[in-house]
């Protein structure tokens, strides 16, 4: 095909037409790959507001092709309304436009917003109804972990305060290039120069980076704030002096030390969960291992070790340690005389019946207070993880039964769950599946292969293990 010599195709209209044509070709290729392959898929959707403040939905699809798990981006969809019905209509209309049958959708993953996750009227319920199978909804694990830490910060005042202080210092130094350069200059004699990490509400890895920076560069931050507290600009000096007064305390040092340990441990899990292709079995094991290690950190020896390290750091910086001083604090006083419940009439009461009858005062010291905060943070994180990561336990247990490295490999009772939710008629009868599962277990239970490799082997032997292969394909 001959083209005009002056054809450049740089017009915005032509460029947009080319991009649209390319998107159509790529979309058709993806759909064709799904239909030739397993002919089933799962959808992943999330909000994606653009720079123009337009509400959009990012839609991705996950499927198996040539025994390889593939995850493909399908497109951004402009949203006019954000209610469950409108979002569902948008997803359905888009899938129809690219010729994808929604009845072949076997799983869905979104964030935890009620409009998406509600089991009665949310998007997941509407997709499940149309797909005509269980189509389980799985809340993104990385998002769950972020919510664990976000909720912990809301529940534990000490954590919320220290994060707020670090954010305030970041905001102070990022106000102008001159301030930013002052914080950089303060690090010249303290090893590697590092930018003060920016905080992000939806990415807790940024919180860990911030805590680690302020712990390792504590002396440099104090130097920069001290310099600005002497500034001739009174407003700037007052702000720096206030931040310096809050930051240069033993309480902050010890809090940074134990948060660096706790968040450093959780950061390993966070990084893995954000990988493009994490193994669900490894995710579960890593979550369990993280909870176990957090529990192991919850003891006096670990706290005392962190305390001793913090004392050394404080002494090097000439920061006063007040941990041996005690203070008497008043507890909440009853606002009015409390009357006993009528059901206790004509009864003898031998104990208190309400928290207002507890002691009015108690004596604490700083070390005890920080120890309490340390234990409270660990307890809250573990509690939140137990609450959020125990969702979908049935389907995840069934997934575990497909892992050759699991002690539950090919456990027929656990496999029944997958057979029941996806339809026994699609996978033959349970008697056949039970007998085939015994053969598969004997063949692969002592090997080191993972689920993906097991799927490849079963695909090669598909005539002999078609039912088991159908189950593993869905996993």
Residue 341 covered by a domain: no
Mean pLDDT across the stretch 324-343? 51
What confidence tens digit (pLDDT) does each residue in 222-254 have? 888 888 777 767 787 888 888 888 888 888 888
Report the 3 state secondary structure along the chain.
CCCCCCCCCCCHHHHHHHHHHHHHHHHHHHHHHHHHCCCCEEEEEEECCCCCCCCEEEEEEEEEECCEEEEEEEEEEECCCCCHHHHHHHHHHHHHHCCCCHHHEEEEECCCCHHHHCCCCCHHHHHHHHHCCCCCECCCHHHHHHHHHHHHHHHCHHHHHHHHHHHHHHHHHCCCHHHHHHHHHCCCCCCCCCCCCCCCCCCHHHHHHHHHHHHHCHHHHHHHHHHHHCCCCHHHHHHHHHHHHHHCCHHHHHHHHHHHHHHHHHHHHHHHHCCCCCCHHHHHHHHHHHHHHHHHHCCHHHHHHHHHHHHHHHHHCCCCCCCCCEEEEECCCCCCCCCCCHHHCCCCCCCCCCHHHCCCEEEEEHHHHHHHHHHHHHHHHHHHHHHHHCCCHHHHHHHHCCCCCCCCCCCHHHHHHHHHHHCHHHCCCHHHHHHHHHHHHHHHCCCCCCHHHHHHHHHHCCCCCHHHHHHHHHC
What's the pLDDT at 204?
A: 65
Residue 188 covered by a domain: yes
pTM greater than 0.75 (yes/no): no
Mean pLDDT across the stretch 346-353? 51
pLDDT interval class at 428 (50, 70, 90): low
Q: Are residues 195 and 257 in the same domain?
A: yes
Mean pLDDT across the stretch 203-214? 80
Q: Which of 149-158, 258-267, 410-419, 446-455 has the highest mean pLDDT?
A: 258-267
Mean pLDDT across the stretch 253-268? 90
pLDDT over threshold 80, residue 330:
no
Residue of higher predicted confidence among 208 and 427: 208
Residue of higher predicted confidence among 408 and 97: 97
Q: Single out the residue in 300, 316, 332 at which a domain terminates.
A: 316
pLDDT over threshold 80, residue 346:
no
Residue of higher predicted confidence among 397 and 443: 443
Q: Are residues 117 and 172 in the same domain?
A: no
Q: Are residues 168 and 117 in the same domain?
A: no
Q: Are residues 204 and 287 in the same domain?
A: yes
Mean pLDDT of the chain: 80
Q: Are residues 278 and 161 in the same domain?
A: yes
pLDDT interval class at 338 (50, 70, 90): low
Mean pLDDT across the stretch 316-341? 58
What's the pLDDT at 3?
A: 67
pLDDT over threshold 80, residue 152:
yes
Determine what percent of the chain is predicted with pLDDT higher than 90: 8
Q: Are residues 32 and 99 in the same domain?
A: yes
pLDDT interval class at 305 (50, 70, 90): very high
Mean pLDDT across the stretch 302-311? 90
pLDDT interval class at 30 (50, 70, 90): very high
> For residue 408, what are the domain limits?
395-474
Residue 52 covered by a domain: yes
pLDDT interval class at 290 (50, 70, 90): very high
Mean pLDDT across the stretch 343-347? 54
Mean pLDDT across the stretch 134-154? 85
Residue 356 covered by a domain: no
Q: Are residues 196 and 49 in the same domain?
A: no
What's the pLDDT at 329?
A: 45
Residue of higher predicted confidence among 200 and 83: 83
pLDDT interval class at 334 (50, 70, 90): very low
Residue of higher predicted confidence among 337 and 220: 220
Residue 3 covered by a domain: no
What's the pLDDT at 61?
A: 92
What's the pLDDT at 296?
A: 92
CATH number at residue 56: 3.30.420.40
pLDDT interval class at 345 (50, 70, 90): low
Residue 291 covered by a domain: yes
Q: Single out the residue in 298, 316, 334 at which a domain terminates.
A: 316
Q: Single out the residue in 316, 337, 367 at which a domain terminates.
A: 316
What confidence tens digit (pLDDT) does each residue in 32-66 have? 999 888 888 999 988 877 777 788 889 999 988 88
Q: Are residues 198 and 225 in the same domain?
A: yes
Q: Are residues 114 and 69 in the same domain?
A: yes
Residue of higher predicted confidence among 114 and 259: 259
What's the pLDDT at 328?
A: 45
Q: Are residues 125 and 168 in the same domain?
A: no
Residue 247 covered by a domain: yes
pLDDT interval class at 378 (50, 70, 90): very high
Determine what percent of the chain is predicted with pLDDT higher than 70: 87
Q: Are residues 75 and 177 in the same domain?
A: no
Residue 98 covered by a domain: yes
What's the pLDDT at 359?
A: 42
What's the total number of domains in the chain? 3
What's the pLDDT at 187?
A: 77
Q: Are residues 204 and 227 in the same domain?
A: yes
pLDDT interval class at 180 (50, 70, 90): confident
């Amino acid at each position: 095909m001959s083209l005009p010599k002056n054809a450049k195709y740089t017009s915005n209209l032509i460029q947009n037409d080319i991009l649209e044509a390319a998107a159509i070709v790529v979309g058709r290729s993806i759909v064709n790959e799904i239909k030739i392959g397993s002919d089933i898929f799962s959808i992943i959707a999330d909000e994606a507001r653009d720079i123009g403040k337009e509400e959009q939905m990012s839609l991705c699809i996950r499927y198996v092709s040539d025994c390889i798990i593939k995850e493909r981006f399908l497109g951004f969809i402009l949203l006019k309304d954000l209610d469950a019905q409108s979002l569902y209509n948008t997803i359905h209309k888009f899938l129809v436009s690219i010729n994808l049958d929604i009845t072949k959708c076997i799983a869905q993953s979104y964030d935890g917003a009620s409009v998406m996750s509600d089991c009665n009227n949310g998007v997941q319920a509407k997709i499940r109804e149309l797909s005509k199978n269980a189509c389980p909804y799985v809340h993104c694990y990385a998002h769950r972990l972020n919510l664990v830490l976000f909720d912990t910060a809301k529940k534990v005042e000490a954590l919320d305060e220290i994060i707020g202080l670090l954010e305030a210092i970041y905001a102070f130094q990022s106000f102008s290039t001159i301030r930013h350069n002052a914080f950089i200059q303060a690090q010249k004699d303290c090893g590697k120069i590092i930018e003060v990490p920016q905080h992000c509400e939806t990415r807790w890895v940024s919180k860990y980076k911030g805590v680690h920076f302020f712990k390792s560069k504590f002396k440099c931050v104090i130097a920069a704030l001290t310099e600005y507290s002497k500034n001739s600009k009174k407003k700037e000096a007052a702000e720096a002096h206030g931040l310096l007064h809050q930051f240069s305390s033993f309480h902050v040092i010890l809090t940074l030390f134990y948060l660096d340990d706790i968040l450093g441990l959780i950061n390993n899990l966070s990084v893995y969960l954000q990988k493009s292709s994490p193994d669900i079995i490894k995710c579960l094991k890593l979550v369990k291992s993280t909870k176990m290690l957090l529990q192991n950190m919850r003891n006096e020896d670990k706290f005392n070790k962190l305390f001793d390290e913090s004392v050394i750091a404080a002494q090097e910086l000439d920061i006063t340690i007040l941990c041996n001083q005690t203070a008497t604090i008043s507890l909440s006083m009853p606002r009015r005389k409390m009357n006993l419940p009528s059901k206790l009439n004509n009864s003898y009461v031998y104990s208190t019946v309400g928290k207002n009858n507890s002691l009015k005062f108690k004596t604490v010291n700083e070390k005890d207070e920080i120890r309490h905060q340390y234990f409270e943070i660990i307890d809250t994180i573990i509690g939140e993880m137990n609450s959020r990561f125990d969702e979908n336990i049935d389907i995840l247990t069934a997934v575990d039964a497909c892992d050759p490295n699991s002690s539950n490999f090919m456990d027929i009772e656990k496999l029944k769950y997958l057979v029941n939710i996806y339809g026994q008629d699609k996978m033959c009868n349970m008697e056949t599946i039970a007998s085939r599962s015994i053969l598969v277990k004997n063949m692969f239970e002592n090997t080191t292969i993972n689920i993906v490799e097991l799927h490849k082997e079963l695909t090669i032997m598909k005539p002999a293990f078609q039912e088991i292969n159908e189950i593993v394909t869905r996993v």
